[in-house]
Amino acid sequence: MIHYDLVQAIELIRPGAKFTLRGDDVSSLEWHDGNQTRPTDDEILSALQSLPKLVSPQDLMAQITEDDAALIQAYIADKPKAWLLWCAFNTQKDAMLTTNERFKAGWFTLQAIIGDTRMSQIAQSLGITVNP
Amino acid sequence: MALNVLALAQTRLGPIGQCQLIYISATQLKLIPRDGNLIKIGGQLYQIPAAGITITNASFGAAANSRIYFYASVSGGEVVLGAYTTAHTTDTTAGNVGTEIMSGDNTKSLVGMAYSNASGQFENSATRRLVRSWYNDPGVQFFNSVASSVSTTNTAWTELDAALRIQALGWAGEQFDVEFTCMCSNSGAGNTTYLMGWVDGGGFGQYGFMHAAANGYYTTISLPAGSIFGTDVVRTFSLAGQVGGGTGYFSNKMISGATLGR
């Protein structure tokens, strides 16, 4: 589905531009727009990196270590709201968009519990960037 | 060799032109006997050998991207094939009336034509039907499909995919039917995505369109069309699309067609 990601990336950096993209090769981009300049291949690839990505709950759960789990259990023990959020995550079946507000709420709560270093490691393992 | 009157009577002749020019390879064509073995040249009947008569692109130094006519003539009493760019006409000379000949030279009878590729070679595939016989030509069928996705935000017609192009060589007056098919969608609900056959670099026939019910909902559009080859010419078939708004998505592009005979 790289084709559709490339289309999204182009639309992200040149909103409303007129273009035609054929297949998965960014060099095939045909530019019809006289008002905006054609983005460079590097610009498009850079925009591609910032597109929202999907994360499956199973993949995220697989990153949690015993130490992480101990911190999480201690944190949610006396915080019903955090406990609810953790339960919601555990019952989530579909992949989650990293730009979704609910996902971000859970992500940054988890960051507060297990720390920046661990969350950076997890983000790197999953190949995602989560922006506030 | 020429036939005498008695032999002619004995053959109980049907239509003259008992042969067919066929594609053998990128470098060879062959005139083979078909429903008999006689051909009329300069008002006389001659026999085509059972093994046929082969002509190679090297034998006449085929130019790139050129229309070539093949004529049968007689040399040393035997039928030979030659390649020329000179057009053909119908002979009105007594004894040879109605035979298709090289313009200005009725010692040469037309047997077929080809359109050379960029390498000066012959082609005959589902996407490039570029060899035709004057006699016993069954017509050609052509087909191409490309699954890859194309997206456009263009509000003017744009050719969707050069990889989908089909080239077919046709005789003047020959009819053809063609169907253009594609799955279409749009990024925005209510937006319109248009599809049209694209022939020889321009719109062809009636366009079709779909209104997107929602982002990513695909509709298959199929557009039948047809026409004739106005001259002995190669026609290039492709697809074009445009949008009324949003981003139009096109995939599973397909063109299928056939000539119906001249």
pLDDT in tens, B139-164: 999 999 999 999 999 999 999 999 99
Residues of B in contact with A24 (CB under 8 A): 148
Pairing mode, strands B128-129 and B166-170: parallel
pLDDT of residue A91: 87
Which of B33, B6, B8, B4 is closest to B19 using CA atoms? Answer: B33
pLDDT of residue A129: 81
User: What does the pLDDT look like over B90-139, one tens digit per residue?
Assistant: 999 999 999 999 999 999 999 999 999 999 999 999 999 999 999 999 99
Chain A residues within 8 A of B156 when measuring between CB atoms: 32
Select from A16, A20, A24 the Cβ nearest to the Cβ of B152.
A20
Q: How confident is the model at residue A85 (pLDDT cuts 50, 70, 90)?
A: confident
End-to-end CA distance of chain B: 30
Label residue A56 exposed, middle or buried (CB < 10 Å: 0-12, 13-18, 19+): middle
How many angstroms away from the CA of A25 is the closest CA of chain B? 11
A18–B149: do the CB atoms touch at under 8 Å? Answer: no
Please check whether residue A51 touches B, CB under 8 A: no
Residue among A1, A18, A38 with most chain B CBs within 10 A, to mutate: A18
Q: Chain B residues with CB inside 8 Å of A21's CB?
A: 150-152
Report d(CA A33, CA B158) in Å as an integer: 13
pLDDT value at residue B4: 54
| Contact residues, chain A, for B151 at CB < 8 Å | 3-4, 7, 20-21
Instruction: Name the residue with higher pLDDT: A17 or A106.
Output: A17
Query: Long-range contacts of range B2-7, CB-CB < 8 Å, 24 or more positions apart?
Result: B2/B44, B2/B45, B2/B46, B2/B74, B2/B77, B3/B38, B3/B44, B3/B45, B3/B46, B3/B47
φ/ψ of A73, rounded to 5, equals: -60, -45
Query: Nearest to residue B53, comparing CAs of B29, B71, B17?
Result: B29
d(CA B20, CA B31) in angstroms, rounded, equals 6
| Residue A101, pLDDT score | 86
A18 near B CB under 8 A: yes
The beta-carbon neighbor of A17 closest among B149, B153, B158 is B153
Question: Which residues from A are below 8 Å from B247, CB to CB?
Answer: 7, 11
Q: Does A21 touch chain B (CB under 8 A)?
A: yes
Residue A94's H or E segment, with its range, is: none
A29 in reach of chain B (CB within 8 A): no
Please state, as a whole number, how many other Cβ atoms lie within 10 Å of the Cβ of residue B108.
25
Contact yes or no for B154 and A21 at CB 8 A: no
Model confidence at B14, pLDDT cuts 50, 70, 90, reads: low
Of A3, A16, A17, the CB nearest to B151: A3
| B158 interface with A at CB cutoff 8 Å | yes
CB within 8 A of B81, min separation 6: which ones? Answer: B31, B53, B54, B55, B70, B71, B72, B111
Contact B158/A11, CB-based, under 8 Å? no
Output the 3-class SS for A96-122: EECCCHHHHHHHHHHHHHHCHHHHHHH
Please count the residue pairs, one from chain A and one from chain B, whose beta carbons lie less than 8 angstroms apart: 42
Each residue's pLDDT tens digit, A45-75: 889 888 878 888 899 999 999 999 999 999 9
User: What CA–CA distance (Å, rounded) separates B203 from B159?
Assistant: 9
Query: What's the confidence (pLDDT) of residue A52?
Result: 79
Tell me what percent of the residues of chain B surpass a pLDDT of 70: 94
Partners of residue A11 in chain B, C-beta under 8 Å: 153, 247
Instruction: Give pLDDT, residue B6.
Output: 46
Residue B3: pLDDT band (50, 70, 90) is low
Is the Cβ–Cβ distance between B246 and B186 less than 8 Å? yes
Find, among B65, B167, B73, the residue nearest to B111 by Cα: B73
Q: What is the ipTM of this complex?
A: 0.78
Q: Do A21 and B151 touch (CB under 8 A)?
A: yes
CB contact under 8 A, B249 and A4: yes
Q: What span, in angstroms and rounded, lies between the C-alpha atoms of B181 and B176?
A: 17
Helix (H) or strand (E) holding B184: strand B175-186
Task: Look up residue B175 and give its two tokens.
Answer: 């009819």
* Residue B68: its H or E element: strand B67-75
Question: Which residues lie below 8 Å from residue B92, measured CB to CB, with a gap of 6+?
Answer: none
Task: Tell me whether A25 touches chain B (CB under 8 Å).
Answer: no
| A27 contacts on B by Cβ (under 8 Å) | none
B64-100 as b/e: b if 16+ CB within 10 A: eeebbbbbbbbeeeebebbbbeeebeebeeeebeebb
